[in-house]
Amino acid sequence: MIVGIGVDVVQVSRFRAQLERTPALRERLFVPAERELNMRSLAARFAAKEAIAKALGAPVGMNWQHCQVVVDAAGDPQVQVDGTVAEAAVAKDVQYWHLSLSHDGDLATAMVVAER
């Protein structure tokens, strides 16, 4: 059973400009393993975090570092949550995450389905 769906689109150039204007934002949004990724990958991961938040109903107090995109052995992106995001997922009985990432030109997109 689907608990929530989230979709987000990020303009890579605009996201880059925001990170340049506010350098501390990179540390606030991303875990250390994500911070060194290229800008398109960072934008896609930010889109994924936004989509995860939307799938959970935008929980108050969500820590952006408590969710991340990891790549499994086959190279597929997977959602990994802990802390505040895991608590919100448990409250909604989320058992499975489905994630799709894409980037083309200046756009990065993510779609997340949270399933019971």
Instruction: Show the tokens assigned to 109.
Output: 């997109």
Tokens 């995860």 — which residue? 52
pLDDT truncated to tens, each residue of the chain (116 aa)?
999 999 999 999 999 999 999 999 999 999 999 999 999 999 999 999 999 999 999 878 889 999 999 999 999 999 999 999 999 999 999 999 999 999 999 999 999 999 99
- C-alpha dihedral over 63, 44, 6, 99, to 10 degrees? -100
Rounded to two decimals, the pTM is 0.93
